Amino acid sequence: MAKKVAELSAKAKEVLEVLTASETALTLAELKELVENVNSSHLTALRNRNLVSAEKVEKEVVTVAKRTVNTYSVTKVAE
């Protein structure tokens, strides 16, 4: 008896259409620019059904990081 597989969500189907139309492989960040409210679970569902493949690549990305810094202000000097 075969295990029943749930149907893909509408968002996963939309992601599949975008990937099919794309001439190159896309990262999740690139997909987020093209598809609203997409997340990694949509890609995982597609990958688990062998509809897409995933390959680890090294990319240069700009990151924003929080750091502790000093701020300076003038203090009143006692006369």
Residues 6+ apart with CB under 8 A from 14: 35, 38
Provide the whole-model pTM: 0.72
Length of the chain: 79
Distance CA 71, CA 79 (A): 25
Return the structure tokens found at 41: 């679970």
The model's pLDDT over 24-40, given as tens digits with 9 standing for 90+, comes to 999 999 999 999 999 99
pLDDT tens digit sequence for 35-74: 999 999 999 999 999 999 999 999 998 889 999 988 888 8
